[in-house]
Structure 1
């Protein structure tokens, strides 16, 4: 059994949670069935450092990995819906965070010191909407965490040296939660979405 690095409870199925592991697998687990996994999600080729459900559309979750990528999933589907990896990135993605203000935005940070901002509406999985990264052979400390402020459009990062940086975001202020869920739902399922492709065991 491999080590677990992160877990998050499914928003609409409170008895179930997702666990990210060292062997690259994400497991769906139940508080009621503790002796076996309910499901497994394969797609990463390295340790999965974090898993988090989208705060607006709870069936959707995101993972980041040592394999240089973030992947977007629906817990009712076996395969990832999208793979996010900047073309010139050759290092681990150590952390990410969904925006609490809009359903289609997340930020990720990498071992080479870069910060990436991904907007799902831009429909580009190889180039982030915005990147801050080392230039001209600069060596930056690994960025190890990223968080969005809950009450203002501000992004915070921390690095391996103990430094903290804050960034002001524009155009991503608070929106209506129901509209944000519908925005992401229509983006991922333009022809409609019906839940329950996988059998639930609890």
Structure 2
């Protein structure tokens, strides 16, 4: 009887441990979320545990895939508006990662500063252009011009809190801790240039094949 009772207690303890792990996982703070532009039932969630989870609204119990590269909290994730299989992430580990959803590892990594990257946003006007925020710095990257360094680096008057590309124009709106919104015009980045999905996909294919 004692042996049987001991086994039952061990089984219950294991079940309780699994339940606790599920609860802890469910309570992990999510820092950001973004829905796929083509399939709105699929979304990405960046967490304080340095992970990115791909999830489905129809399956709340399990994640579809987990992406592991960052080693600090993931601050922002965003799907490409031109290529629904591609997304960007940024983190307090100073890096930006470019992913394809069917790959466990990022296909490209970017780092130009030793500061937390708080936001990364795709341009709605060009498939190869995105922007990043780190402190007072605003960076504009154009992968057609350079995959190692940002094309434009601008220091704002105060710490930047938000950024938005203006659709259909060559302007970007930047909000800061002083409560101001500043509109910048992007020069030498033609609106609509390389807008097609193939431009981004060609760059990714070239990098992966090297």
Q: Give the TM-score of the pair, scaled to structure 1.
A: 0.83
Match of residue 173 from structure 2: 156
Partner of 2:155: 133
Highest RCO, 1 vs 2 (Cα 8 Å, sep ≥ 6): 1
Structure 2 match to 1:103: 127
Equivalent in the alignment of 1:78: 104
Query: How far off is 1:104 after superposition?
Result: 0.1
In structure 2, runs of 5+ residues without a counterpart are: 1-24
- Give me the whole-angstrom Cα distance separating, in 2, the residues matched to 1:176 and 1:81: 20
- Structure of larger gyration radius: 2
Matched residue, 2:67: 41
Name the structure 2 match of 1:187: 203
Q: Which structure shows the higher helix fraction?
A: 2
**Displacement over 3 Å in runs of 4+:** none
- What SS does structure 2 have at the residue aligned with 1:5? strand
Aligned match of 1:55: 81
Query: In the alignment, what sits opposite 2:141?
Result: 118
SS of 2:202's partner is helix
Count residues in correspondence: 182
Deviation at 1:175, TM superposition (A): 4.7
Residues 44 and 176 of structure 1: CA distance in aligned 2, closer, same or farther (over 3 Å): closer
SS of residue matched to 1:122: coil
- Could you state the TM-score of these two structures normalised by the residue count of structure 2? 0.80
Q: Report the Cα distance in structure 1 between the residues aligned to 2:96 and 2:54, rounded to whole angstroms.
A: 18
> Are 2:38 and 1:15 equivalent residues in the alignment?
no
